[in-house]
């Protein structure tokens, strides 16, 4: 009995039409990254599980795909080990699929530190895997496009990341807003509210303001033991309005007793100043509630949202001062952002904004009505291909109707019809399938028919 | 204690320099595939283990990387199950990493048959994973570049694959020989030798002739129970010399009592005729001992070898008449070849034949000697990037020597030096780092300095 074929849930096949859209996105980000002086690297799909475990929190550990040891994975496993699934899985699986590109990058930098020229500007476009519950827009295998610079403290790196975002989404024809915050400002807010120890609780709560509103945020703060006086300090920050400059001046006042908070305000002032002077086309906004999980970030925090759809974040990142420390290389600061290719695909798709010529398909199909006709076509198709014009000969000698249908379904714009008459007179009948126009040309003119 | 970072054995990191070489190969094959009318698809890294198991022989099953089920993988596992590692591993792992691109392609065709336009010409460039013992030139994660047409019996497809090989290796600057055989001829040889039932033994033995010589092949044939009379029929076939046409005429005689054998000779005659009339630059050779494992092949068999190195096969493939049958779609014939990107990389590398401009790195580095200088450079670098010229500002304000060193190590050819004088006079000092030449230009002329 034949198997009914399927693929694991949360994974996808990509058809030629989907590939064209995806390649459009990858080529765009790649071209922009290179223009800004970033170089590509790749890391293996599998990392040692010890490299990955403990880097993404307890929840993240659960979402790692583990790879069974090859050979006899269960030799040495005793019945009592079955009672502890976690430790058993780590015993029989020494490897796991990468969960993101950031931890492998940190591992790469430490492992290859002697070969790397710092500051190291790298980009990386590869799939990652997470055993998340699959749902609309969330997959178990998806691509990240990461761009990071490591080994430099200058805020010009932050400026360049904003310029890269502006450039990429401009080229993709999407209207976006770049939201910016600074982790030090969040620390300052926690400090002046008298709850420096509750930084995580505070930021997790205020990060939700867009979704749940100010009243629910306040409720959550109270429930975490933040007192009314503290909330009275935090609330006006979240509802600050006006120009970025004015907001930052207000924040300087509010955070005047927090050294780290003032440092954060200063960094934001400098970054917004750089962005102002460089000039970017997209909207850039100070968002004092932006936190993005906080895992690594120590300075700037970025998030990019599509202004034309309700798709959440399509790109995000920030500065991290000690990413490589976990692998033994201390004091190397970096900053980077990650483009979510799958979500960007969904946005462009929803807005129907893929360029119509993104599918670089075949331009000419030569019909095949017999051996003589086929042999007549072979050198002609060769000439076209040598000129870089994608072309095909229909391989089988079947009814012309079927060959027409093939061209039509494949979206091939031109049909080169070869019959007795054409061979006798050294001609080609060339039919434009979109206009229906058909003309007879000298076979020597084939190449000129497609040059313009 | 910090972990000492490493990666699983048999896997690799790719540095920017290595990526440049790899991208050169991928871009070359991709461009050629498209020119011949092939479209890209991608399939998930993980397939259901049931899709993969039993497709690569017993040895292949052992080399599959299995992925542990997420959640509690060991719930329901009882101590007695520990005695059978194989069945336990299939119980706790429902997914595996793909082993090649052919089986996923067959699965794709069957699963999406209603959306596909046949004949379906597809290419696929993705990594595959095998738990092979790592050794020089053999990795546990490596890329395959497959190009197949499915749903067509015409030998023009075989011709096109040879043209594709010729095109790809011509563009890569490698001298290769394409060896061609036909499975039906091998069947015919087994048949006329009176050992149709020992086809596998015979082909496995004669496939080794290049490595072990004719005498050792004869020994192996005897050891498999092939009698002297049969060997007397097989031996002259293996030592046939002369032009391809003469060899094929001889084979017609030898195989005159084997219907399938004669069919194979006829196919080879037609294919070599097509290749002759189309004209290819590389060497094409009839190799009657070529078998390539035989797994799927039913017609043409291809193998490509580098003529300038001793690296074995760098590309191979053939025709298979029933690949999709295992997934329930019968009678769909296909033919394809697979380029081994990693081996091709090693060959080009050994011959030092990567194009010197393959590394599309940064062209200009602006020095950064202070805030004022940096702000002067920001709009200039923007102009260059808008013109598609990759450029950078050194992010940190450190000693000029360090910035020079960075440009040098990164292989950046031009340094744009900005100091007090340059700013006062609206100039840029542009230094060519390979010639040492330095000139002062108007800042408005920056773009013209890089156009030619």
- Contact status of B269 with chain A (Cβ, < 8 Å): no
Task: Return the pLDDT at B352.
Answer: 94
Minimum-distance CB partner of A8 among B95, B379, B395: B95
- Contact status of A48 with chain B (Cβ, < 8 Å): yes
Residue B44 three-state SS: coil
Continuous segment of H or E residues that includes residue B149: strand B141-150
Here the tokens at position B260 are 């399938």
Q: How confident is the model at residue B225 (pLDDT cuts 50, 70, 90)?
A: very high
Q: What is the pLDDT of residues A318-366, one digit of tens each?
A: 999 888 988 999 989 999 999 999 999 999 999 999 988 766 789 999 9
- Spatial contact of B362 and B412, defined as CB atoms under 8 Å apart: yes
Mean pLDDT throughout B119-142? Answer: 94
For chain B, how long is the longest CA-to-CA vector?
95
Task: Return the pLDDT at B294.
Answer: 59
- Closest CA of chain B from A19, distance in Å: 6
Chain B nearest-CA residue for A324? B2
Q: Burial level of B130, CB count in 10 A (0-12/13-18/19+)? A: buried
- Contact status of A440 with chain B (Cβ, < 8 Å): no
Chain B nearest-CA residue for A1? B328
Tell me which chain B residues have a C-beta less than 8 angstroms from the C-beta of A8: 44, 46-48, 94-95
Cis preceding linkage at A39, omega within 30? no
Task: Return the pLDDT at B137.
Answer: 80
d(CA B238, CA B288): 7
Chain A nearest-CA residue for B396? A154
Note whether B156 contacts A393, CB cutoff 8 Å.
Answer: yes
Radius of gyration of chain A (CA): 29
Task: Return the pLDDT at B134.
Answer: 87
Q: Which fold has domain B16-175+308-351?
A: BirA Bifunctional Protein; domain 2 (3.30.930)
- Contact status of A368 with chain B (Cβ, < 8 Å): yes
Q: What is the pLDDT of residues B342-361, one digit of tens each?
A: 999 999 999 999 988 766 78
- Closest CA of chain B from A258, distance in Å: 26
- Spatial contact of A65 and A96, defined as CB atoms under 8 Å apart: yes
Mean pLDDT, all residues of chain A: 93
Give B 2-31 residues with CB within 8 A of chain A.
Answer: 2-8, 11-16, 19-20, 23
Task: Return the pLDDT at B58.
Answer: 85
Q: What is the pLDDT of residues A65-82, one digit of tens each?
A: 999 999 889 988 999 999
Note whether B41 contacts A14, CB cutoff 8 Å.
Answer: yes
User: Which portions of chain A are predicted below pLDDT 70?
Assistant: 1-3, 294-295, 358-359, 452
In terms of DSSP bridges, do strands B334-340 and B141-150 run parallel, antiparallel, or are they unpaired? Answer: antiparallel
How do the domains of chain B map onto residue ranges? 16-175+308-351, 361-451
Q: What is the pLDDT of residues B201-221, one digit of tens each?
A: 898 899 888 889 999 999 999
Q: For residue A34, report the phi and psi dihedrals to the nearest 5 degrees.
A: -65, -40
- Closest CA of chain B from A81, distance in Å: 9
DSSP notation for A321-363: S-TGGGGT--S--EEEEEEEHHHHHHHHHHTT-S-TT-S----
Of A65, A87, A67, nearest to A78 by C-alpha is A87
d(CA B403, CA B394): 7
Chain B nearest-CA residue for A330? B2
Task: Return the pLDDT at A326.
Answer: 86
- CA atoms in the 13 A half-sphere facing the CB of B5: 23
Of B217, B199, B201, B220, nearest to B209 by C-alpha is B217
In terms of DSSP bridges, do strands A334-340 and A141-150 run parallel, antiparallel, or are they unpaired? Answer: antiparallel
Task: Return the pLDDT at B321.
Answer: 87
- Contact status of A327 with chain B (Cβ, < 8 Å): yes
Task: Return the pLDDT at A361.
Answer: 86
Tell me which chain B residues have a C-beta less than 8 angstroms from the C-beta of A40: 16, 19-20, 23
- Contact status of B52 with chain A (Cβ, < 8 Å): no
- Spatial contact of A94 and A69, defined as CB atoms under 8 Å apart: yes
Note whether A274 contacts B378, CB cutoff 8 Å.
Answer: yes
Structure letter (DSSP) for residue A152: -
Note whether B16 contacts A122, CB cutoff 8 Å.
Answer: yes
d(CA B399, CA A126): 36
Interface probe with A: pick from B4, B6, B8, B389, most Cβ of A within 10 Å? B8
- Spatial contact of A414 and A431, defined as CB atoms under 8 Å apart: yes
Here the tokens at position B188 are 């015919």
Minimum-distance CB partner of A2 among B13, B15, B327: B327
Give B 125-164 residues with CB within 8 A of chain A.
Answer: 127, 129, 131, 140-141, 149, 152-154, 156-157, 159, 163
Chain B nearest-CA residue for A279? B379
Tell me which chain B residues have a C-beta less than 8 angstroms from the C-beta of A153: 396
Mean pLDDT throughout B328-349? Answer: 94
Q: What is the ipTM of this complex?
A: 0.93
Minimum-distance CB partner of A74 among B2, B88, B274: B88
Provide, rounded to the nearest whole percent, the portion of chain B with pLDDT above 90. Answer: 83
CA angle, corner B158, sides to B153 and B162, nearest 5? 170
For the sheet with B141-150, list strands across it. Answer: B39-40, B120-129, B141-150, B334-340, B313-320, B300-306, B176-182, B283-286
Higher pLDDT: B125 or B84? It is B125
Mean pLDDT throughout B89-101? Answer: 96
Give me the total of CB pairs closer than 8 Å, taking one residue from chain A and one from chain B: 286
Give B 83-122 residues with CB within 8 A of chain A.
Answer: 85, 88-89, 92-95, 97, 107-108, 110-112, 115, 117, 119, 121-122
- Closest CA of chain B from A424, distance in Å: 19
Of A318, A288, A285, A297, nearest to A206 by C-alpha is A288
- Spatial contact of B63 and B99, defined as CB atoms under 8 Å apart: yes
d(CA B165, CA B351): 19
Continuous segment of H or E residues that includes residue B442: strand B438-442
Task: Return the pLDDT at B323.
Answer: 84
Task: Return the pLDDT at B2.
Answer: 56
CA angle, corner A367, sides to A364 and A373, nearest 5? 125
Tell me which chain B residues have a C-beta less than 8 angstroms from the C-beta of A12: 44
Of B127, B89, B106, nearest to B55 by C-alpha is B106
Continuous segment of H or E residues that includes residue A317: strand A313-320
Task: Return the pLDDT at A1.
Answer: 46
Query: A361-451 sits in which CATH class?
Result: alpha beta
Minimum-distance CB partner of B119 among A79, A153, A395: A395
Task: Return the pLDDT at B450.
Answer: 84
């Amino acid at each position: 009995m034949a198997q009914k074929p399927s693929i694991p849930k949360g994974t996808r096949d990509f058809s030629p039409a989907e590939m064209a859209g995806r390649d459009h996105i990858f080529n765009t980000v790649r071209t922009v990254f290179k223009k800004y002086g970033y170089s590509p690297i790749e890391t293996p799909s599998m990392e040692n599980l010890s490299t990955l475990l403990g880097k993404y929190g307890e929840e993240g550990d659960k979402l790692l795909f583990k790879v069974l040891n090859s050979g006899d994975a269960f030799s040495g496993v005793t019945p009592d080990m079955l009672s502890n699934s976690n430790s058993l899985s780590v015993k029989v699986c020494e490897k796991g699929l990468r969960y993101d590109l950031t931890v492998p990058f940190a591992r790469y930098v430490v492992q290859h530190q002697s070969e790397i020229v710092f500051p190291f500007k790298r980009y990386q476009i590869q799939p990652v895997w997470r055993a998340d519950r699959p749902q609309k827009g969330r997959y178990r295998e998806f691509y990240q496009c990461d761009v990071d610079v490591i080994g430099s403290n200058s805020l010009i790196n932050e400026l360049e990341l904003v310029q890269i975002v502006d450039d990429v989404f401009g080229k993709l024809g999407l209207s976006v807003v770049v939201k910016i915050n600074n982790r030090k400002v969040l620390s300052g807010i926690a400090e002046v509210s008298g709850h420096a120890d509750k930084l995580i609780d505070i930021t997790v709560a205020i990060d939700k303001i867009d979704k749940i509103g100010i009243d629910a945020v306040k409720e959550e703060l109270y429930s975490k033991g933040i007192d009314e006086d503290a909330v009275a300090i935090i609330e006006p920050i979240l509802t600050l309005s006006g120009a970025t400059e004015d907001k930052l001046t207000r924040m300087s006042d509010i955070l005047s007793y927090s050294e780290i908070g003032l440092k954060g305000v200063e960094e934001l002032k400098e970054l917004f100043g750089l962005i102002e002077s460089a000039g970017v086309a997209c909207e850039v906004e100070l968002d004092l509630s932006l936190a993005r999980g906080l895992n690594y970030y120590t300075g700037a925090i970025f998030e990019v949202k599509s202004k034309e759809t309700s798709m959440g974040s399509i790109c995000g990142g920030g500065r991290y001062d000690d990413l490589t420390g976990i692998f033994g290389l201390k004091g190397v600061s970096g900053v980077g952002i990650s483009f979510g290719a799958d979500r960007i695909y969904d946005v462009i798709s929803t807005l129907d904004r893929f360029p119509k010529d993104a599918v670089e398909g075949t331009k000419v199909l030569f019909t095949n009505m017999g051996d003589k006709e086929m042999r007549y076509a072979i050198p002609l198709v060769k000439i076209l291909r040598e000129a870089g014009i994608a072309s095909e000969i229909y391989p089988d000698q079947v009814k012309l109707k079927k060959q027409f249908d093939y061209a039509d379904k494949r979206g091939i714009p031109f049909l080169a019809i070869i019959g007795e008459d054409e061979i006798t007179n050294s001609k080609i009948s060339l039919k434009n399938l979109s206009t229906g126009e058909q003309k007879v040309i000298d076979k020597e003119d084939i190449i000129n028919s497609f040059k313009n």
